[in-house]
Structure 1
Amino acid sequence: MTASTSPTLARPPFPAHKRAHALRPLALAALLCLGPSLAQASPEKAAKFYEDAQQRFEKGDLSGASIQLKNTIQEDNKMLAAHLLLGKVLFKNGELKGAEAAFEEAIRQGVSRSELAIPMAQLYLQLGERKKLLDQINTTGLGPAQQAEVLTLRGTAYALSGNNTLAAKSFADAKAIDPRSAAPLMAEAQMLLRAGERDKARATAQRATELAPDNGLTWYTLATILQATQDLKGALAAQEKALAINPKQVDARVSRAALLLSLGRQKDAEDDLALLAAAKQADPRASYMRAILAAKRGDEAAAKKSYAETVTMIDPMPPGLLIVNEPLLMAGALSNNALGNREKARGYLETLIGQNPRHYAAQVLMASILLETRDYGKAQPMLENLQRANPEDTQVMYLLGSVHLARKRYQQATEMFERAAQRAGANAGDALRELGFSQLGMGQDKLGQGNLEKAFAANPGDARAGVQLAMIYARQGQSARALQTAQAIVKLDPNNLTMLNFLGNIKGRSGDKAGAREAFTQVLAKDPAFRPAGINLSWLDIEEKRFEEARARLKQMLGRVKDDPDVLFELGILELRAGRNAEAMLNWQRADEVQRADPRPGLSIIDLLSSQKQFDKALEAAKLLAGKHPGKLPVQLALGRAYLAVGDATNARLSFQDATKLAEFDAEKQILIGRMQLQAGNPDGAAYNVQKALQARPDDQAALVLQVEVEARRGDNAKLDAALKTLSSKYPGSLPTLMTVANVAMLRGQLPLAQSNYRAAMDKSPNTGTAILLVRAQIAAGETDKALAFLEDWARKQPDDRLLLKALAEVQLQAGKNEAARKSYTKLMSLEPEDPSILSGYASLLLRIGDPAAAAMAEKALKLAPGNPDLTDLLGWILVKSGNLDAGLRHLREARLRSPGNGEIRFHLAYALAKSGRKAEAKEELNAALNASNRVQASPELAQLKSELGV
């Protein structure tokens, strides 16, 4: 296929908005693998194919656009714009699964989620993936009109999920942002109808038609409301208006046919259905109506054929789409029943009535089975229904508490176990134990420990309570008590190797390494194949750097059980400690491949890749690990950090939001996540982390410091002052307080106050980080020479401090000391030859002084951190400034898609587009740059471009 090949004609476009079932397969993965070898790939050809595809898409030639995009991806699989446009083409053509795959590939390669918010939200609604929409799609980075559309789609998802309160709020927010849009009114009218508020629904739909009288969808919406309120003639009139505006509107045509059948106009209904068939518009409701009409005529063969068509379309539909669509559920049930598919018909009917269970004892048993098999999503609602039916059943309370505990919803679990323990009386041992676990999860350590002690005292054979208590005592430094508890457990069952091994762990935690080694050796003497003791003994060897002994033991264990994941993981740690990174990686990769239960090998892989600055590879590893372990807190944190490392703040925020839910009331984890949220530009998310941390530990200093930083980022001066006052009153003069006061003063431009606090902090704890902050305050005060002198003096005292040297180079560059900066960067590159931030700083210096080596330096930096939008932008800008417009434009487009909220990047793209003659697109990008939250800095080039484009 070449650029001049004439694409084949596409079939008539298939409306996507109700056709999740009509999916044509697209071998996207195969398409992505069809490209030529790297030696043959041509970005220039790819750009030409892409421009042709874009023009075809704008003209409605979806098939032609698809072919040219295939050619684009064959030439350049990394072109973000091609993957993005491919998703839009497939979506418009009704190929929803193919569109989803294309959009996900675009996101995987680096397109910002904000760029895909609206089409992905529409896609998820059509696929019935409402949870995905609500979890992943938000208004971050969008303009007012786009925000209103996303809020409308989110409102629809909330409404279909049964949460009308949040739905109404989303619709209200959408209307407030864009009062001229009819979309929120149409969606709200449907919600009101489902809630039984028919008059409000009708009035709301009527307002939509008044707001957008030339929009066929507003009339179709009104027609559905009128039909539901039994105003059939009014509904028919509204459908006819919809079809007059757009005769190809499938939903209006299907609904009109159903109305005509209701009114006894059989022939007219058949004519509408015939029009749909002639246009090759497949719809299960239309097929079902054809079956009904055929049955009325006595044509059993035709009826059977139409029933089969209905089933063929409905059966593959996602359950999420079907569960809220009664017409489709009934059509599926009736059609399957007519064809003799009793079990499938029963399944559809059970979906309809499954929310109202009747058999109490059977539901309790089912809930316990679901709990045992970890199917918590089904167990919880079932148990909640049972509890409403019988609030005093202690068994149901215990089971429901266990579900909440398993899902780390500690507050709800605590409430259930407290009630169960109160009602169980003398038999409350198990409930007390689980209550203790829940309270520990909430950060209520004393209460949790107390209930575990009660449970263990009531039943000394309760090993779960005893083990947890011994670990608590060990952490508290109560070594004697920890040892006493562990020995009590072992005494009850002296031959229990698991407990003997646990006793060795407690001895090790208490600092008795010799006693721990003796215990592990004793276990292995009884059973040489007892893996936990072998691993623990090897761990002792590793800590003591007895690598050869540990390696021999672990390999012997692998000889007994090939590919034992725990042994492979431990062997990886050994090799890392021994300085053999490649061998460590191989062991962890194998440990990750052979099991899906333990994320530790995958986390170790991510850490090692990140330490080697292979950030793209680390992100890929993190994505794979998150797919295997979506509910594990360390995995979500690793994924968020990996996204941040490549500059994808939007996806990082989503990962940290998931982590917040998993962390519950763990104060340290919440503070850690809050700081990461700030790095990802999400102060509101970080504020919630502070709230959770302070709930667990009131007056925690780290949480109070974070609270100040959050309010500073949010820009609420009153709340900032209050937070600062609280911190200063509770921890006056402490190092964290001094640093926080200085940072806030810096933010507010109170430079003398900032400098005095940074100096006080330096007096308490001299370090390079504080020195750099003091220098920044001096520079902000216009004291650049003073700052440079201070930094040079500090550098003489710390000659091997690379962070300090990097700061010195940056200050020299900022101060215009080009030759001094060059020397500093040269020294830095000799120490850190593969640090992309150093290379990019040097490239910026070379660009300033007109050195043609700037492009090669920027390209080297980007190769070390591929996908980083700032480095991509830097290379693109250098290429444009050096006259290589086509190559520069390609990099700038990619940078803009990866970081659409960066005004500087969008200005650079606008500049390049204007140079290439694409004035309209350049003007659009320049306006976006000027309105971005991270605005472009003033410069002569910006002023000239604004004048040239009339902005």
Structure 2
Amino acid sequence: MTSLLHRTLAIATLVAALVGTACGDSPEAMLASAKEYLAKNDQAAATIQLKNVLAKNPDSAEARFLLGKALLENGDVTAAEVELRKALELKHPADQVVPLLARVLLAQSQFKKLDELAKTSIASAEGLADLKTTLAQSLAMQGKPEAARTMLDEALAAKSDFAPALLLQARIKVANNDLAGAHAIIDGILARAPQDVNAWLFKADLLNAEGKTAEAVAAYEKGLALKPQALNAHAALIMTHLRERQPEKAAKQLEAMQKVAPKHPLTYYEQGLLAFTKKDLATAKSAVDNLLKLQPDSPQGLQLAGLVAFESRSDLQAQDYLRKALQKAPALALARRTLVLSYLRSGQSAKAVETLQPVLHGDETAPTWLELAGNAYLQNGDAKTAEEFFQRATKANPQNKKAQTALALARLRGGHTAEALGDLEAIAASSETDTSADMALIVASIRTRQFDKALQAIANLEKKRPDHPLVHNLRGGALLAKGDQEGARKSFEKALAIDPAYLPAASALAQMDLRANRPEEAQKRFEAVLAKDPKNAQAMLALAELRARGGAKTSDLVELIKRAIDAAPAEPAPRLALIGAYLREQDKDKALAAVQEALAAIPDRPELLDAAGRVYQMNGDNQQALTIYSKLANLMPTSPQPYLRMAEIQLAAKNREGARSSLTKGLSALPDSLALQRALIQLDLEEGKLEAALARAREIQKAQPQQSVGYLFEGDAHAANKAWAQAANAYRAGLKAAPATELAQRLHAVLLADGKTVEARAHADAWLKQHPKDHAFRLYLAEQANRNKDFATAAAHYRNLLANQPNNPALLNNLAWTLGQMKDPQALSLAERANSLAPNQPAIMDTLGMLLVERGEGKRGVELLAKAVELQPQAALIRLNYAKALIKTGDKNTARRELEELSKLGERFPAQAEVAALLKSL
């Protein structure tokens, strides 16, 4: 009741003041009113009255001075400087103005201007003590402690009991660890002036630093009772409550702070910090944006903005903020640590290592940086240096299991497999609670195909994490890799029995269902997860993918994908799925709308930017596509892909110079990029610059004589010019430098092109004899044989490949097609098997459909081909086969419509002669 009455009276007083002004109060009366408000620490009301005075009398020196004082108290130092300088120009006493102006300049770190102000002559003892105290603070901030102490002595000589000088003296004692001396000074001030707000707040800071939280809170609250506008006290209380894990009290204190200074930079900072601790990133971002509008160079504000961006996975923005924060304040450890983590997450390990250098001081490096440095060097490919840092981290803290585990993994990457696995076993056994080493041991054992070791490690993990679905999921994975299908299934099912919404186990079982040709059962796995966890976006996407494979309508898939977006609006995967669904339907407008909505929600994710670039290009907006890929290049400075995509867009627009410029720019940033080198060589060849292409290829050979890629590029250049013998020589030289499948394929191809069939066959036989498990080369030979209509040879290669991969639907389909060309009756059963293993795949349905038609099962064959066309309407060859099947089964009208659609493709479809012949025959 009293509080409400007090507020009502305060409002009434303010309204009366405003009404009085409107009725013609004199400047003198308003000035007197302003002084009363200042005496009550009501800076806001005082500011209104003083501005009213200046509206009537802009040359009032006293009003300018008092307004400057009120603005300084309210934290608006920029405006305060303007008013105080005007007060000086209007001849207000320098003894009063200069000390306040000095504080304003100190708050802005304008040390040079402050030095100039120091020359001003001050007559009063208090004014001189005030100025010299500010100058002492300035010297201390500039790292001149001796000069600061001398200046402070001069301040106290001017006025021995000047409280601000004594407070600075107390701070110096704290810096020298003389806490008792600091307490004595503060207690002396408060004994003489128990209403000294600054003394109470310093006492609170001192108690807080000593860990006396309850006493510190009481002192802060005493200071706020004397001066509710003391923003530092509000901020300190918020930080204290957060540290004590009392967010409700912190939020209540923020409300009090917002009442007295809602738009102050410090208020925005505390609002952002509190929201950040609650993971409310949207509110945190809004608050820090407001802060940086007022103080764009605030190191703490930039750091907080970087943290918010990092947590939002906007690495490009996070890195920009954090770099600026460190430029302003290199000692901000949290900003440096987060910047390193952002670089590591975005694959910029070299920059992570560079950022760490200022805090890596040899043997004196702080332990907090050792483990992070190890991870940075490990990701940067320097396992030896990484191992050294991990060893030091372990030595600094022998209980740090994460550092010990990282050390073992560094040794594993360095090739010391047995030693590393032994270390992981020892670390895992040494702790009854920490599981990081157990997990690393399990993953490493499976990767090295030591399944029994992995299963033993999983059994040990189960003792630490009994009845956890993760354990059974890991066991299922190990058993599956070992070949124990039944055991794996039981383990995955046990994981789901513990947690029916455990997606990893459901996904593993769904994959097993698909391999067993039970797609309906696979879908039920994800439906069961969603029944328990209706907002599981990953489960929704997995279900959408399965339904798409089953031929579901795009509209049904879109509905499910949009639910996934609503469930996880900050995740890129659902948005990519939606864009992909529209692209499959060739719906450019909806794809563009989905892209724009995705970028508005998640602006800096590389995968979304890449999709956006493709969609903008598809919509004919090449300039926007190039802008997108330029941004992607900044976001992924170690990737050649953005530059390659820019060049592709420019080439499609017949802008060869632009394409060359993009590739050259990429090479200047990534001089070792083979992809960019290859693209430039290809561009040279297309422009008839054979010598330039060959020169570039030979430069690569000189730089990397033990690698085959330079020879590959040289051979390709000769082959493009149909210089088959020179191409063959280049490929042979490359095979001597470093045998590679791609070179072996190229050599075989140019020998055939040069008419040297016997030599080509001899090369192929020799290569397979030396590399019997080179499945890629054998697949190439099969496809080459099919092109040459040597179906018997192609079939032999496919059968050999199927011996190693008996359930590979692509190989089964290819063998079925090849045998179909040979009129082999086994073709149909192979095609049926491929279709059952991978249902609703247009290429497989095409093969099976044509075989069925040829074997007299026209109705089913045509139905399959029609569905294949529906699933992939842009596949012209499938549409042609569909038309042939329609003709064969007597449906000439539908066949004619299909062929007419194909004829509209013109030169884009190479089989137009066959299309024309078929149309003529109808």
**For the pair shown, which has the larger CA radius of gyration, 1 or 2?**
2
